Amino acid sequence: MSERNTVLRSLHDLGLVAWCGGSLMGAVGLNGAAEDEGTSETLTVRISSAGWDRWAPVNAVAIAAHLIGGTGLLTANAARVQQQQGVAASTVAKTAMTGAALAATAYARILGKKIGKACSADAEERAEAGQHPLPLDKAKRQLAAVQWAVPALTAGIVVLNALHGEQQRPLQQKTGMLQKMTGMDLHS
């Protein structure tokens, strides 16, 4: 278990911090600046949409790096996940939270694109946005909520990642494996 996974950990962690930090900066900094500088609701949306459009490719690379690193680490630690008490549960929780963060990110992007098109200077884009079944006001309310779900969920993944780090300490591994084999709680 002394094998090094530096590249995988780096992909996992750097991807996660970019995903979390970028979403938080966008919700606070970009959207806040757009509100301050936009002289109308339409201009505010255009400024915010332009920033999010520039961030989207970087965010996609960050998410891909995180997922590649996470998959590699899970593969490298498969035996520990099976044999050490508590690791499978925290892995399932982390996987579920990652899925929720992915879903929230995708939905935020869909909502943002709809709102951006509805406020576009291009008449064709405005018409396309009007054909979407979700009304614009509802899309704005949902985006206001979901934009905060992404940094909250990714921050939760950071916390679970810290738990995984603690579970890798040698004493934690020995204790967890003994608990798994004996079915006894050795911490009481």
**Which residue is listed with tokens 């993944």?**
157
d(CA 78, CA 72): 10
Q: What is the pLDDT of residues 96-108, one digit of tens each?
A: 999 999 999 999 9
Confidence check: pLDDT of 132 > 60: yes
Contact 165, 92 (CB under 8 A): no
Find the farthest-apart pair of alpha carbons in the chain and give their distance in angstroms, rounded: 68
Q: What is the pLDDT of residues 42-60, one digit of tens each?
A: 999 999 999 999 999 999 9
Confidence check: pLDDT of 182 > 50: yes
Residue 86 lies in a domain: yes
Contact 160, 94 (CB under 8 A): yes
Residue 187 lies in a domain: no
DSSP state of 43: H
Residue 45 lies in a domain: yes
Confidence check: pLDDT of 186 > 60: no
List the Cα angle 133/134/139 in 5-degree steps: 160
**Which residue is listed with tokens 């084999």?**
181
Task: Give the domain extent around 145.
Answer: 6-182
| Count of domains forming the chain | 1
| Mean pLDDT in residue range 14-43 | 95
Q: How does residue 31 score in pLDDT terms, banded at 50, 70 and 90?
A: very high
Residue 96 lies in a domain: yes
Residue 129 lies in a domain: yes
The verdict on pTM exceeding 0.95 is: no
What is the per-residue pLDDT for 1?
A: 44
